[in-house]
Amino acid sequence: MTHLRYFDEDWDEIRDLYTAWWTGRKPHRPILAVSAPREKPMACPAAPPSPTDPREAWLDYEGNARRFEAVVASHFHGGCMVPYITPSLGPGALNIYLGSRPIFAPQTVWYTPVYKDPAQATLAFQPDNEYWQWTLRATDHFLKEGMGKYLTGLPDLIEGLDILSELLGTEELLTYLLDCPQEIHRLLGELDLIYWQAFDPLYEKVRDDRNGNFFIAFQIWGPGKTLKSQCDFSAMISPAMFEEFVCPYLERQCARADFSVFHLDGPRCIAHLDLLLKVPSLTAVQWTPGYPNPAPSDPVWWDVIWKKVYAAGKSALVLGVPPKEVEPFLKQFGWARTFIGTAVSSEADAKRLLRESRTWGG
C-alpha cells in the first residue's frame, strides 16, 4: 500500500479507480473525490505570510509550497481527492513561454498581445525564457518538498485558439478567422508542436511509477500522459468554425496523449458538444456551467450534456457537485465513467458520504 502524508487513502487503489474511469470499466466503488475541513489539523511547518506584491506572490515558489502544505494539512482528502501542487503562472502559461509579458494580479495572470499581424507571426518556444526557467525550478522544488506528503502536477499550459487569442488579441483573432484563415491554421499548426516542447520536459519530471501525471485544477491523474484541453474562445464562434479551427488540432493533441479531458466552459459552448464528442482521441468531458447557472450535476444538464457524453463512450468529470446531488447523479448514470468531486462541511460528513455512496447506483 502506498500512502501520502496528507492523503487518507491508499494511493495505489485510487490510481486503479482512476484507470477504471478513463477506460470505462466499472470500478469496485464510486469514483468520488471529497474534501472537508479536518477535525484536527495535522502538524506541519508554519507558513510564511504571502508577499503583498502580486508578482512576488506568484513567483515565491518556496513560500507557496509552505503555504500549500498548511492548507492541505487542515483539510481531509477522501476518496479520489488527492492533494497536489502545480507551478502556476495563470491559466495559459504557454503564452509567457512564447514571449507574452505577464501582468500579475492577486487572483490571476493576464497576458499581453505580442503580434499585430498574424502573417508576420512566427511562434517559437523560448527555453531560455525566465518564466520557463522558473517553472522548471519550481517543479523541482515542489517535487522535493512534497516527497511522501503530496503530489506535483503540470501547470495550465492551454493550447490552440485560447493561446492565439492572447498573443493576437481576442477581437483581432475573431477578425483574422474571417480575413486570413490560412494564417491562423499555420499558427495553430505551430502550436501543435510547441505545446509538447513545454509538456514533455515537465511530464518527465513529474511522472510516477505508472508513467502517470496530475494536471492542474481539474483533479485528474491518468496512467500515462494525461492532459486537460479547452477552447473557451469557442463561445464566440460558430459550430462550423469550431469544426474547422478546433476539432482537427484537438484530435492531434489528444492522440499524442494517453488520456485527455476537455473543459467545456459555459452555456455558449454547448453548441459545440456534438462535434466535440466526435473527436475519437478525446477521453473525457468536464462541464462548467458558470454562475448563476445550476451545478453541473443538476438534472437540467442530464439530457443536454451528460447523456450525450455517456452515449459517445466518453468519461464524465463532474466537479463542484453539491453533496445532495451526488446520490441522484450516481443512481442515474452509475459508477462506470463517472467521476464526481464535492466538498462538505465536516470530516465526519465526508466519511459518511464516501461510505453511503457505495450503496448508490453501481
In order of 4, 20, 229, the CA distances from 203 in angstroms are 20, 22, 16
- Output the pLDDT for position 2: 77
The answer to whether 37 touches 75, Cβ cutoff 8 Å, is yes
CB atoms within 10 A of CB 323: 16
- Output the pLDDT for position 362: 80
Low-confidence ranges of the chain (pLDDT < 50): none
* 330 beta partners: none
pTM: 0.97
Please state the separation of Cα 5 from the chain's center in Å: 23
In order of 190, 206, 215, 282, the CA distances from 156 in angstroms are 19, 14, 8, 18
In order of 137, 204, 206, 224, 339, the CA distances from 211 in angstroms are 21, 9, 9, 5, 21
pLDDT in tens, 92-117: 999 999 999 999 999 999 999 999 99
| Strand 338-343 relative to strand 31-37, pairing | parallel
- Output the pLDDT for position 1: 60
pLDDT in tens, 171-209: 999 999 999 999 999 999 999 999 999 999 999 999 999
Domains and CATH numbers, the chain: 11-359 (3.20.20.210)
CB atoms within 10 A of CB 345: 10
| Residue owning grid cell 486503479 | 16
The answer to whether 347 touches 37, Cβ cutoff 8 Å, is yes
- Output the pLDDT for position 361: 86
The answer to whether 330 touches 353, Cβ cutoff 8 Å, is no
